[in-house]
Amino acid sequence: MMSFGDSVRTCVKQKYATFAGRAPRAEFWWFTLFYTLVQIATNILDTLFFGAGEVASGPGFWAYNSQGGPLSIIAAFALLVPALAVTVRRLHDNGKSGWWVLLSLIPLIGGLILLFCFVQRSQPGDNAYGPDPHRQV
């Protein structure tokens, strides 16, 4: 099984813009966690250094609204291609075309359909998009 570090190295260094092939669940979800942590960190830094965003609080209530400061925008653009690439490879792993990513443009339903695709097990054996990533070499 792929570790957090292996997933980040694979998605950012080895397969930065590789849309062909397959990505197992571990690669996809570890990279999704990395992307989320980077966005949280850059939002915090943007708030501290640039005042981007605001915090609202009240009795038993706390909320943060990010306005997208320069660091989070740079990080989002830097990770856009590998995030899209690993998403397409994850869809390939389930035997789906990468064009399925366009379902994300359909509010709520598109995201739910994609989430279902992302959590499914890999299609066993080789498929039209490449060899089984779980096969022992």
Tell me what the mean pLDDT of segment 80-101 comes to. Answer: 97
Give the pLDDT mean for 7-27. 96
pLDDT one-digit tens code per residue, 94-135: 999 999 999 999 999 999 999 999 999 999 999 999 999 888
* Beta-bridge mates of residue 55: 64
pTM of the full structure: 0.87
Q: Where are the domains of the chain?
A: 4-119
Distance (Å, whole) CA 103 – CA 73 = 24
Name the residue type at position 120.
Q
User: What are the pLDDT digits (tens) for 37-80?
Assistant: 999 999 889 888 887 666 677 777 777 676 778 999 999 999 99
